[in-house]
């Protein structure tokens, strides 16, 4: 096993995650964790998916991979 994480991944994930985290109601037991994650995401400037290379492993999760299987 090796760590294939790239430093820009949280900035790309911000684009996808933020809208769902904002939908968690304050009355939900998950709200404290959603709030914590939203606060963490404020540290990043969003990078939109079209900026991610098609050969990036991150594309396996966000779509648009250039690989054919």
- State the Cα torsion 37-40-41-45 to the nearest 10°: 180
Average pLDDT on 11-29 reads 96
pTM of the model: 0.76
- Structure tokens that stand for 21 in this block: 């985290």
Q: Which two tokens stand for residue 44?
A: 């990043």
Maximum distance among all alpha carbons in the chain?
A: 44
39-51: average pLDDT: 95
Mean pLDDT of 43-59: 93
pLDDT at 69 over 80: no
């Amino acid at each position: 096993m090796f760590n294939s994480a790239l430093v820009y991944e949280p900035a790309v994930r911000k684009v996808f995650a933020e809208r769902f985290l904002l939908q968690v109601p304050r009355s939900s037991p998950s709200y404290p964790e959603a709030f914590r994650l939203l606060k963490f995401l404020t540290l990043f400037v969003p990078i939109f998916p079209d900026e991610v290379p098609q050969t990036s492993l991150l594309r396996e999760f966000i779509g648009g991979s250039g690989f054919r299987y």
